[in-house]
Each structure stands twice: as C-alpha cells, then as structure tokens.
Amino acid sequence: MLNALFNKVASNPDLKDKIKFLAAAQGQDEKVAKMWKAVRKVPFPVVPDTDWKLSKAMNYRLAELAGRGGGADDGHALGLENGVQAG
C-alpha cells in the first residue's frame, strides 16, 4: 500500500519533489530495518527506531486496516493520532 502510494507520487511531476517518504522501524534495530526494506522492496528510506523516539515524536500509532493483517504493505499503516493515516 505504501509502496503503491510512493510510486504514484514519484510518477507525478507536480508531487515527486514536494513529498518525501520515510519509514520508521518501530522498536527495531538497523538489521531488522534493512531486512524489512529488502523483503518488502521498500523504495524509500527505512530507519531504525529502537527506542521509539521518532515514533513518539511524530505521535504515531499502529492502525490496522479492516480485514487485513501483516506489515505496512499488508494492511497495517502508521497514522497520526489526529486520524490522518500515512497509508
């Protein structure tokens, strides 16, 4: 889901230089972040967030999308507490 959104933004000349993507590997180290990026074929940076500082600073929470399970591309998306979802 996030990969598809990234690809849509990247292919839009009006948006590609204005919107940037960054994934935080919540509670995970660099090894896991790299593995997740490789397995999911994530085309944007994935940074480790072992101490949840980035996630907490952005007020992120895990939001499960109806009827799906797994990682961010399989039905989970990170969203802001104000209800704006990132995917």
Residue 67: per-residue pLDDT: 45
Residue 40: per-residue pLDDT: 92
Single-letter amino acid, residue 76: H
Please give the helix or strand (H or E) that residue 60 lies within, else none: strand 60-64
Residue 16: per-residue pLDDT: 93
Digitized pLDDT (tens) for each residue of the chain, 87 residues in all: 889 999 999 999 999 999 999 888 989 999 999 999 999 999 999 999 999 898 888 887 665 444 444 444 443 444 444 334 444
Q: What DSSP assignment string belongs to 23-76?
A: EEEET--HHHHHHHHHHTT-SS-EEEETTSHHHHHTTEEEEEPTT--SSGGGTE
**Cβ proximity of 1 and 73 under 8 Å:** yes
Single-letter amino acid, residue 84: V
Does pTM top 0.75 for this prediction? no
